[in-house]
Structure 1
Amino acid sequence: MSGARVIQEQDRRDDEQETSPPGVFWRYWGAATVSGAGTAVTALALPLVALTVLDATAFEVALLAAAGQVSWLLLSLPAGVVAQRVPLRRLQVTLDLVRFAALGSLPLAWWLGTLTYAHLLCAALVTGAATVLFDIGNSTFLPAVVPARQLAARNSVMSGTHAVTDTGGPSLGGVLIGATGPVGALVVDAASYLASAVLLRTLPESRPAPRTGESALRLMREGLRYVTKHPVMRPCMIWATAANFLNAALVALTPLYL
């Protein structure tokens, strides 16, 4: 009987957790959707600003695209450690504000007549680094705002939304660029990160469980070892690396044709 009462009590707590607080997931979803769409627009708007405003060469456009992606190679493992040790809501809000400042500085510099290719390159590096940290932190933030029973269903919603923003974001970027020009699209893009930060600020804080006696280097080694030895994740990683390499080359060249 005591075991049954424990199970009933746990079920009651789970039910209470599932119904409170209301709207948290959808605010989280809204922030992730706005932020993801902004990232997709940035991938198109930045190189077009370089081409149409600064008359950049093909090499400079390709370098700009590389600057936006290189952080995935350099920061993915450290980002996992950061996400485990820093309050997630604070981290996500800060990264959105960093991206807002980096991209918002570009239209301001253009309006003042001081926009340079070096400024674009720095903005791409900062935005790319913040996006890596944001996306990895975002994947661990979801379990903190969604009850365990709803996690699979909510994760499906997030995956579907991610696919839509990845596909529709460049199209949205094309519409914005056609309507406002590449610099105007960056204004809207910067505003999307500010809107995401405001939404995230309304979510409950999530503090990671303290992990003592483990260095950051050790945690990164453990993560790398786990992925490279896993019978499913290892081939997925190899395939994703090859596909991303070729897709990155296409993304770098596409603005030249646009």
Structure 2
Amino acid sequence: MAQTGVLTRQATRTAASSQVTVLRIVIILALLAAWELLARSGLLFEDVVPPLVRIVQAMIQLLSSSIFYQNLWVTALEVFFALTIGGTAGIVVGIAVGGSAFMTRAYEAYLYYLGPTPKIIFFPIMIMWFGVGSGSKIAMGALSCFFPVALSATAGMRQIDKVLIRVGRSFRASTAQMVTKIYLPAMLIPMINGIRLGFGVAIIGVLLAETKLSNQGLGYLIIQSYTQFNMPQMYAMLIIVFMIAAVVNTAFGRLSNRGVSKQKRPA
């Protein structure tokens, strides 16, 4: 009977997952159809809303160009370092703030006040500090990434079972041991979710910085396409960036789901 119930639940989940997949495909097809109808309706200038076939042709040209991959590599490195720096700093601050009532009262308000602030206003400062090269773009992405990771880590620290903390302290674990053996494993899921959010805003920060002052990177290619009024190439670039971000976000999501499964698995 128990095995039958498990099989039934698995079948239900599979059917629900299939329905979700079908719904997603329908939404994408509907959006594509609406775009094509708008492009061919004549309501807007053709170059502003080009037909899908021209966007696909531009995408093929981009993916077959070495210049695109050179700029993709620049942006990927900038986002990677931004996520590494901003994410690491966010986790450290989140553990410090979430693990101490005094630190919470003293500093948590700053995270909430500064978190929603548009980070692009700090870009002139980044240019003065780090120059016009990749350094200012990495700093922009790291600053954008820091706050969602820090807030998620702070919330994750508060969700840790107090018994685990007391056990670690009763064994006189050092601060490093508490962090690596208790804090990080216990707050794995909030931390991964924070990194997912941080990754998204890191991409936004880096691309915005590249569109403002740069001669390389995907943001630079996007703003160049706009300046030259090459709308098919610009839309193709935006689609490629969206697809890359979606793939990485999906990987983070599966990692988070795997963490949930491990935590629910009986010892």
Does TM-score exceed 0.5, indicating one fold? no
Q: TM-score, normalised by structure 2?
A: 0.30
Q: TM-score, normalised by structure 1?
A: 0.31
Structure number with higher relative contact order (C-alpha < 8 Å, ≥ 6 residues apart): 1
